[in-house]
Structure 1
Amino acid sequence: MTPALVSAQGVSPQSTDSASAENQPAILVADDVQITADDKLVASGNVEAMFEGRRLKARSITYDSTSESLSIEGPMSLQDGDTTLILADQAELDRDMANGLLTGARIVMDTQVQLAANAMARIDGRYSQLYKVAVTSCRVCETGQPPLWQIRARRVVHDQDEQQLYFDDAQLRVLDVPILYLPRLRLPDPTLERATGFLIPSIQNSSLLGTGVKVPYFIRMGDHRDLTLTPFVTDKTRTLELRYRQAFVNGDLTINGAISDDDLRGSSTRGYLFAEGEFDLKNDFKLTFDIEYTSDDTYLLGYGYSWKDRLDSEIAIERARRDEYIRGAITAFDSLRPGESNTTLPTLAGNFDYERRLHPSRLGGEIRLGASMHGHRRTSNLRTDGADLDPWADGRDLARMTVSADWIRSWTLPAGVLARFQTGVAADAFRVVQGGGLSAARATEVTPSTSVRLRWPWIKATPGGATHVIEPVLQMSWVGGSNPNIPNDESTLIEFDEGNLFSMSRFTAPDRRERGLSGAYGVRWTRHDPKGWESTLAIGQVVRETPQTEYNGLDSFTDSSGLRDKFSDVMVAGQLKLFDGLTLTGRGLFDDGLSTTKAEARASWENDRTNLAATYIWLRKDPRENRVGDISEWSIDGSYRFSRHLTGSAQWRYDVASDNKVYAGLGMTYTNECMEIALKASRRFTTSTILTPSTDISVTVGLRGFTAKADDQSYVRKCKN
């Protein structure tokens, strides 16, 4: 039988605002359409009716033009918008499908939450009133077994505009066993992104803080801001955590904090506040800031909010364009480390950086113009050195201004050799206050420099499709001038790796520069395989005419920097990436006796079931870098999905040098389409004169569909036939 198509014009009772809204088309498609003697339209066989965004499918529909009503025989489905699907055995609806009564009804919201009821009344296309209801987001199989959890209620009202569900006489059941009765209950429907209400609670047990329950309460303060309050009360602490978020037209703001009343220290009231924001300004400028504050040295670590032992608060304005970069920042530091005094550390610092690139057509190449300013201040007024390793005054303050200009040009020489020439000049001016007489109060230095770098890349393709690239590099540099008699406050920690092997100065700031004639050589090998794996290896070394020394003859570089003497340590770095998600990375510095100065290695493995990473670091002791002993530490962090629903996780940190455990953690998470249960246990072994080790255990149970989206379909259970 050929399907019949009927298009009718009618007047919707809700559409009276304009002439275009008064005439709404209704479309009916069916295998057979008849008009009876009493002026009724009867459609049967694969019936579909569409009107005002609603799509109705049924076995048969009878339309009474006198009462403007629809009598529908099911099974039927009514798609209302993109997120709501209504199923029923039969229904009596008005012509707009916005009002009426459905029996044997079921609502599926956002493909996650389903509401099954004996009967359902639709009112004005906005409200759905269901009677004797069962609500769940679990998959319900035709085996007769109850879902893992469900909410039974005498009546449920769904407000489609407000996206809210209102329950009367509700019971929360687990495997059909009632565990909680609530006379009134309100929940957001799954289509609502943000709504005021309780979030997923968790049970927390800590050997330091005691046992309690965290119940986050989310407060929606509009479309663009919200506040989350989380009380945590035990026999040892009374804590209120907060998180505030606000989105602006040109940026966003996030504030995290907590306030506690406990008996763990002499002061009963403790707390912390972390805030960060980012805003777009005019002319492509960007404003960023972060604030980090805590009431005492152990609060963050003791309560598990952060592992940071040095806080930094900063406000900065920057702009990055293709040929220009500008940044200005003010930073405040606060050390939480035992034995460090904030009065003798630079706790307030200001920085300004500017760089401009020019491309002159006649001269060729590139001209780089730069300017920078730096200043830092200590709160101490000491003009002489205290009892520490610093040979300068503990209360010194310092300011620096630097301007520079460089010309860079590249050529391609015969045989494919790539040449790069750079020359330039820099001027530095310093001002030292409270230097204790060991340094000059003022100093200036003009530094000319020039360098030539040659690269000769060799490329070879094997019959198997692999590509090899070998690139030897040689650089000769000369830097004039000498380091002035000022304290080293900016270039205290030097890193030597493949990133700065061919720099003319490997100091981190212009208060120190590498001077004299020097050379650097290295080779890099890369292999790309068509099967999806690749490997790289880089080796290099720095050679100087004379070692780098201070004005008083001391070495400018620290013992563990790898850059002392005429010949630096040999730098070796490599990486191997395999097609199955395994990546191995390592780098190290080796002296002339092949002893390790610094080394780090990392292995990571990531695929559909595994996410594992292990890191090892080794640093030689160096009092000038505040390391009185060697550092040797392992760190492992990973997760493994044992089955469709079960995922385990583990974290472990171990101090090999002191043979002490630092941190250990285990977790197990059960996840399906409607529930997530997370069990976590951890032990922090760190201890000091003001901090004791602690063990923490937490259990979190979340009902997915309401409190969390279930977008990952790999967790959905399958029904057995």
Structure 2
Amino acid sequence: MLRRLTFALCLALTPLALHAQEAEPDPALLVADTVVVTPDERLIAEGNVEALYDGTRIWARRITYVSETDSLIIEGPIRIDDGESVVILADAAELDSDLENGLLGGARMVLDQQLQLAAVQLARVEGRYTQLSKVTVTSCQICGPKGVPLWSIRARRAIHDEEAQQLYFDGATFRVLDVPVMYIPRLRLPDPTLERARGFLFPSIRTTTELGSGIKLPYFIPLGDHADLTVTPYLSQETRTLELRYRQAFVNGDIELNGALTRDTVLPDETRAYLFGEGVFDLGNRYDLSFNFEVTSDESYLSEYDYSGKDRLDSEVSLSRTTRNTNLLAELVHYNTLRDNELNSTQPTIIPDLRYERRYQMANGLGGELRLGLLGHSHIRYSESDVRGRDVSRAGAEATWLNQWTFGTGLQMAAQAGLALDQFSTGDDTTVTDVDNSVTPSAALTFRYPFLRSAGGGARQLLEPVAQIGWVGGRDADVANDESTRQELDEGNLLSLSRFPAEDRRERGLASVLGLRFLHKAASGWEAGLAVGRVYRSTQNDDFTATSGLDNAASDWLFATHFRNTDGLYIQSRTLWDEQGEVSKSAARGAWANDRIDLGASFILLPADTDEDRDEKVAEWTFDGSYRFNRHWTVSGDAQYDIADNRAVEAGLGLAYRNECIEAAFTADRTFADSSNLDPFTTYGLTVTLKGFSTGGDAGSYSRTCKQ
């Protein structure tokens, strides 16, 4: 140890250190078991040699410094680590003292712990270029001396440009299991350290019954450090499509645009296209500006090319600000329907909306909290025909006081009182008043009495009865019901004074709510809960739909349950039962997830309701999930089944393989015929990605290990 330390200190006086100091890098450091200085001024370090110079570290059996040529002769096994992302292993080497030029024999270079390049000879040039002769490149794990990589590239010569982070190949052959598949005279690929490289990305194959078999070949173009463009030709027997994606990041936000241009045999005389865009910006002082827009040339283009499953497109721009005591949202939305049974001219198409709320803590008097709100809203139709072209605008102001108390017995009481003012203006509808307003006072008391109990084994239980009595005065303005056509009773609005989704309708009169909540949490971690509730009103409101659960003076019974355990299983359900025991609405969702399994199932039941534009009962099951067989293979699937019609709606299957050097995914999706889609269609997809390059990413836990 003393010998190593003494030599390390003396090395600063050697010609190697003096030469290094001319360029003013960090001084060289050398540690070895033995050191000899020969009469011909050669310095020989031998035995567990470790050298550090300008961030590069070398391990070797023997290093000889030749002062006459200012070079290093290194005998292996050799390991050279640049301290960042390049590791070189070699049998022997001769380098200059700056480690920037020289030759290495029997060399293997590893980039970013992913890509391996093995060569007969490796040459370093100017500290930037590494030239490899008779090279084999792969990111696959090779087991044993006779091991064969899953894929590899063999080339006559390869050059690694560290500054440009690029790999250049001459006379390259792409091999699968060492079998030649493709010869490429010239090939350029990004090394793993380059995050954004110009060039082709890995292609994908897509086959559909409508468009035939085709290939997508994306080309990535970086536009500076903060923007890029991806151009993807999509070619098949039936289509010629060019897909585009543009992204740009700014100091305070980012935008993304996606679109495509198509000429195909589906609509042979038309150019089909779509463009989606979105962006968000931080304007400072907690103001956020966001936008998105969605346009398409025809109704079926998005679904046929699997760009989107939406049948109503929305474009909007919004300004928002949220602080501890204020909330602001101003937005302008434009809708475009793609449904066959709807016309854009008679649908609410242009919708500006403004909402502002502020709260104050009342320190004196009654205490509690005061909330003040302002709102403005319009929905405009293109049509000017009477009733069908109706336009509505409304403005409102609201003040609400809230407070709550907990008494010594454990009883909790909450009180609220409010006043709302709304004014409506209606155009192109002679069945209602042009301008009308409403004044809505309200008040409510809510009582809770939680009972807590510690059960055997450390379990805990909560039983909480809830009761509310409320009153809402005033009358609804003479305005059409455009916004509150869908209502639903659930846990979130059980204690609301109005369960209409918008202010064009409000619940009026006396009402009371009775509810009960039960929660059990076991010591082992699993928990289960049940919530039951019902609303009783003094009058019946005819604006509630038949299946809302609220159309009678006494609402349907609300039952909501949930279950969760530590093994990743979660089940949630909600059902509305009327007094005759019939179900108004029911929905359930179950999921189970762990390291290998991710399963989910959903059920929904909606009885027929003409007020909700549902002439027939809807009952559907949906399933989705994946199972990881082992470290590399994963199968996934999804399905949708219409119980009411006794038919399958959609089904999909996927199979993926992933290891440290490749990722492959095969998908098959089937959409079955229904009343609006008479032609079922199937889509197949295949994508293969090679790991180890900048577009491939890191395999992480998917890496293979060799058997001992």
Q: What is the CA distance between 1:39 and its match in structure 2? A: 2.3
Structure 2 CA distance for aligned equivalents of residues 331 and 146 of structure 1? 58
Q: What is the CA distance between 1:210 and its match in structure 2? A: 1.1
Q: Deviations over 1:42-84 (max 9, x none)?
A: 2122111111111111111112233321111110100013211
Per the alignment, residue 288 of structure 2 pairs with 286
Q: What is the CA distance between 1:278 and its match in structure 2? A: 0.4
Instruction: Mark the CA change 1:200 to 1:572 in structure 2 (over 3 Å): closer, same or farther.
Output: same
Contact 1:12-1:24 within 8 A present in 2 as well: no
Per the alignment, residue 390 of structure 1 pairs with none
Structure 1 CA distance for aligned equivalents of residues 462 and 38 of structure 2? 83
Gaps of 5+ in 1: 384-392, 549-554
Q: What is the CA distance between 1:177 and its match in structure 2? A: 1.1
Per the alignment, residue 475 of structure 2 pairs with 482
Question: Which amino acid counterpart does residue 47 of structure 1 have in structure 2?
Answer: V
Question: Which amino acid counterpart does residue 651 of structure 2 have in structure 1?
Answer: A
Question: Which amino acid counterpart does residue 71 of structure 2 have in structure 1?
Answer: S
Structure 2 CA distance for aligned equivalents of residues 29 and 466 of structure 1? 63
Per the alignment, residue 506 of structure 1 pairs with 499
Per the alignment, residue 642 of structure 1 pairs with 629
Contact 1:577-1:583 within 8 A present in 2 as well: yes
Per the alignment, residue 425 of structure 1 pairs with 419
Q: What is the CA distance between 1:567 and its match in structure 2? A: 0.7
Structure 2 CA distance for aligned equivalents of residues 677 and 141 of structure 1? 22
Q: What is the CA distance between 1:709 and its match in structure 2? A: 4.5
Q: What is the CA distance between 1:303 and its match in structure 2? A: 1.1
Per the alignment, residue 90 of structure 2 pairs with 88
Question: Which amino acid counterpart does residue 428 of structure 1 have in structure 2?
Answer: D
Q: Deviations over 1:405-451 (max 9, x none)?
A: 1111111123111111100100000000011x211111111111001
Per the alignment, residue 591 of structure 2 pairs with 604
Question: Which amino acid counterpart does residue 621 of structure 2 have in structure 1?
Answer: W
Contact 2:20-2:27 within 8 A present in 1 as well: no
Q: Deviations over 1:252-302 (max 9, x none)?
A: 101111111112136521111111100011321100111011111111111
Q: Deviations over 1:140-198 (max 9, x none)?
A: 11140321111001111000111000001111011111111111100000111110111
Q: Deviations over 1:179-236 (max 9, x none)?
A: 1111110000011111011111111111101111111111111111111111111221
Single out whichever of 453-462 and 325-334 deviates more from structure 2: 453-462
Contact 1:114-1:135 within 8 A present in 2 as well: yes
**Superposition map of 1:348-363 within 5 A:** 348-363=350-365
Contact 2:194-2:694 within 8 A present in 1 as well: no
Per the alignment, residue 449 of structure 1 pairs with 442
Per the alignment, residue 374 of structure 2 pairs with 371
TM-score, length-scaled by structure 2:
0.96
Q: What is the CA distance between 1:715 and its match in structure 2? A: 2.0
Q: Deviations over 1:367-414 (max 9, x none)?
A: 00000000011111111xxxxxxxxx1011000001001111111123
Q: Deviations over 1:618-657 (max 9, x none)?
A: 1111111111111111111111112222111111111111
* Equivalent position to 2:524, from 524, 527, 531: 531
Q: How large is the RMSD of aligned CA atoms in angstroms? A: 1.6
**Superposition map of 1:168-567 within 5 A:** 168-265=170-267, 267-363=269-365, 364-383=367-386, 393-435=387-429, 437-548=430-541, 555-567=542-554
Contact 1:679-1:698 within 8 A present in 2 as well: yes
Structure 2 CA distance for aligned equivalents of residues 691 and 259 of structure 1? 26
**Superposition map of 1:578-597 within 5 A:** 578-597=565-584
Per the alignment, residue 386 of structure 1 pairs with none
User: Secondary structure at the residue paired with 2:27?
Assistant: strand
Single out whichever of 649-658 and 33-42 deviates more from structure 2: 33-42
Per the alignment, residue 650 of structure 2 pairs with 663
User: Secondary structure at the residue paired with 2:457?
Assistant: coil
Per the alignment, residue 123 of structure 2 pairs with 121
Structure 2 CA distance for aligned equivalents of residues 442 and 259 of structure 1? 47
Structure 2 CA distance for aligned equivalents of residues 467 and 92 of structure 1? 73
Structure 1 CA distance for aligned equivalents of residues 678 and 62 of structure 2? 75
Q: What is the CA distance between 1:708 and its match in structure 2? A: 4.6
Structure 2 CA distance for aligned equivalents of residues 531 and 638 of structure 1? 27
Per the alignment, residue 641 of structure 2 pairs with 654
1:45 corresponds to 2:47: yes
Q: Deviations over 1:449-503 (max 9, x none)?
A: 0011111112112231111122211111100001122101111111211011001
Contact 1:199-1:707 within 8 A present in 2 as well: no
**Superposition map of 1:616-631 within 5 A:** 616-631=603-618
Gaps of 5+ in 2: none
Q: What is the CA distance between 1:110 and its match in structure 2? A: 1.0
Contact 1:127-1:159 within 8 A present in 2 as well: yes
**Superposition map of 1:124-143 within 5 A:** 124-143=126-145
Instruction: Mark the CA change 1:194 to 1:710 in structure 2 (over 3 Å): closer, same or farther.
Output: closer
User: Secondary structure at the residue paired with 1:281?
Assistant: strand
Single out whichever of 246-255 and 677-686 deviates more from structure 2: 677-686
User: Secondary structure at the residue paired with 2:567?
Assistant: coil
Question: Which amino acid counterpart does residue 526 of structure 1 have in structure 2?
Answer: L
Structure 2 CA distance for aligned equivalents of residues 571 and 23 of structure 1? 75
Structure 2 CA distance for aligned equivalents of residues 686 and 444 of structure 1? 49
Per the alignment, residue 33 of structure 2 pairs with 31
Structure 2 CA distance for aligned equivalents of residues 476 and 38 of structure 1? 104
User: Secondary structure at the residue paired with 1:25?
Assistant: coil
Contact 2:201-2:695 within 8 A present in 1 as well: no
User: Secondary structure at the residue paired with 2:285?
Assistant: helix
Contact 1:477-1:519 within 8 A present in 2 as well: yes
Q: What is the CA distance between 1:605 and its match in structure 2? A: 0.9
Structure 2 CA distance for aligned equivalents of residues 25 and 535 of structure 1? 67
Per the alignment, residue 679 of structure 1 pairs with 666
User: Secondary structure at the residue paired with 1:4?
Assistant: helix
Structure 1 CA distance for aligned equivalents of residues 696 and 449 of structure 2? 54
Q: What is the CA distance between 1:679 and its match in structure 2? A: 1.3
Structure 2 CA distance for aligned equivalents of residues 485 and 56 of structure 1? 86
Task: Tell me the percent identity.
Answer: 49
